[in-house]
Structure 1
Amino acid sequence: MSNDRTRSSRRGTGRSVVRIGTRLFVDFLIVSLWVVFVTLVFLATGWPQWAFYAALILGVGGYVQFTAGWG
């Protein structure tokens, strides 16, 4: 009986680690793609540097606001 609980607990822990790892990877991928996209747009257009940083901060901040409730 006790052995079944241990297996179930380990399985749940493994799933949690995979879920968290997947979430971190997806977050990293999306933010990285946003940074590359904004960088390429601003290099191609020559827009001001302050607007570049504003776009980065607003983009990442918006993503965090949108995904903060996932859980």
Structure 2
Amino acid sequence: VKHLKDFPILPGEIFKYKWTVTVEDGPTKSDPRCLTRYYSSFVNMERDLASGLIGPLLICYKESVDQRGNQ
């Protein structure tokens, strides 16, 4: 996100990202109950991936998980 480049997150700090997931982003009737995607940094791909700036992102039917994210 271009406007966030001016706000570096230093070691020990926390920043909360919020994604808006639409119905079109989620699984269809022919998909499994949850789809696996990933998030990553695109600032310096090689360095950022080696630093662990990548992770899973599960997009599930709302009815598939409880409030804690358990299926």
Question: TM-score if structure 2 supplies the norm length?
Answer: 0.26
Q: Judging by fraction of residues, say which structure has more strand.
A: 2
TM-score, length-scaled by structure 1: 0.26
For the pair shown, the structure with the greater C-alpha radius of gyration is 1
